[in-house]
Amino acid sequence: MLRTVYIFAIVCWLTLIAVGLCEEATLHSDEAPRDDDRLKGVGAKVVILEEASRLDEAVFTEVIVPLLNVRDTAMLAISTPLDENNFYSTLLQMKDPQTDGPMFRVLEIKLICEACAAKGIKDVCPHRRELIPPWKNDHRREIMTKALFEGQPRMYMQEQLGIPSGSDARCFDVDSIDRFVATSADMTNDPQYVFVGIDTCGGGNNFMAIVSGCYNRSNALQILAVDTAPITSDMQLEAEIASHATRLRKHISRNAVLVSIIEANYGGWVQSSRIAHLLENHGPALHVTCDKKQENRRPGIYTTWEIKERMRHELQRMLRENRICLFSEVASTRVGDVVELAKQLKRCEYVYKASTTSATVERKRMITGKVNGQNDDMAIALMLLSYWSAHFINVNGKCATRL
């Protein structure tokens, strides 16, 4: 399979020599072409990925992997590794299923030896000093760079010492997620409003998540039903909404109002209106909207990065303060959906997205759980639910908004 493929995490000059010797296709992450299509169909003897961990993962899977399928193609990848969720870190640890040995040949250069790392030393250790290349071996400069990395130990470890450290970019703390999914509470009230958070399909995957809940007497959000399903047709969408709403209705009164919170980012007003309409088949419903039009507001909300951050913050607070719990009979179509929800929450992290148009514009901070092609639809649906259900007001009998 990928027998002939090797990864060398190796110093730059080797890369340069290799470029000189081979028919090369060098992808610098910072100038990776915007449309990968231009790269396709190119055969290569040696693929060299410089700063591989920064390469867009889509370019790797769509362009590089097919190239590697061609006999006698080799890949050289060099990079300072990013955190363990990065695809490059995954490659380094991949095992050949047949031999159980490493899939790639990996050469790691760390400036702290195992023994010193075990002692908790977080700086260049005396046993690895000789690895510092001559052009960097300058004590005064070392002091200066260290000072410049002050307050960013993770960055220092990563960039100067070549050591990836655990992600400190997580959006939610793991302990409170574990606490939340371990809860199991009975319903002690007959809620007047039940909120339905819906993350619609889009952004590279076809999963839709629906997470519903209501507030108990002490104002804690109780999660009543969670679902995630791949949606590829309108019929499926209809069936999924119907299934979710029917299960919800078993536990709440016929007069309880379903308040939809539908993200319209991908499907636009058309899809959010369609989903809202489908929900209306299942009793009284209201729809949260961010439509600015005063008359005839359409259901659905667009989440900017700023709003996503507010959503994250609200959920994080609820998790920390134990103001969110699971209904003891939490209803979902597939076993394991709650486990999946917890996994997605733990995966959510901040990533920095470079501007595609300018190198000088500040990089955008984004929240995502789509690490290594995995989904984050349930986590997003829960964030929608926790933020938009707070302090909502009924605008006109059909739509609601957040105060």
Q: Note the residues at the interface with ligand NAG (CB under 6 A).
A: 183, 185, 188, 216-218, 220, 322, 325
Per the document, the length of the chain is: 403
Tally of CA atoms within 13 A in the half-sphere of 214 that contains its CB: 24
Please state the closest distance from residue 181 (CB atom) to ligand NAG, in A.
12
**Do residues 257 and 284 make contact, with C-beta atoms less than 8 angstroms apart?**
yes
Q: Which is nearer to ligand NAG, 98 or 218 (CB)?
A: 218
Nearest to 214 by CA among 195, 199, 227: 195
- Give me the least distance between CB of 190 and ligand NAG, in Å please: 12
What radius of gyration do the chain's Cα atoms show? 25
Name the minimum Å distance from CB 309 to ligand NAG. Answer: 25
Q: How far is the CB of 183 from ligand NAG (least distance, A)?
A: 5
CA 89 from centroid of its chain's CA atoms: 16
Compute the least distance from the CB of residue 216 to ligand NAG, in Å: 4
Cβ of 395: how many Cβ atoms within 10 Å?
16
Shortest approach of ligand NAG to residue 321 CB, angstroms? 9
Cβ distance to ligand NAG smaller for residue 217 or 292: 217
Q: Which has the closest alpha carbon to 213: 403, 387, 395, 400?
A: 387
Query: In the bound complex, what is the minimum distance in angstroms from residue 249's beta carbon to ligand NAG?
Result: 21
Would you say 219 or 360 has its CB closer to ligand NAG?
A: 219
Query: Residue 366 is inside which H or E element, if any?
Result: strand 364-368
Q: Which residue from 73, 90, 107 is spatially nearest to 3, judged by alpha carbons?
A: 73
* Residue at 392: amino acid letter: F
- Nearest distance from C-beta of residue 220 to ligand NAG, angstroms: 3
DSSP code for 376: -
| Residue number with CB closer to ligand NAG (220 or 354) | 220
Helix (H, G, I), strand (E, B) or coil at 194: strand
Q: Of 78 and 325, which CB lies nearer to ligand NAG in the complex structure?
A: 325
> 251 to each of 75, 188, 245, 324, 334, how far by Cα in Å?
56, 11, 10, 18, 18
257 within 8 A of 280, measured Cβ to Cβ: no
Query: With respect to ligand NAG, which residue has the nearer C-beta, 75 or 181?
Result: 181
Please say which residue, 314 or 376, places its beta carbon nearer to ligand NAG.
Answer: 314
Between 47 and 385, CB nearer to ligand NAG:
385
List of residues 6+ apart from 118 with CB closer than 8 A? none
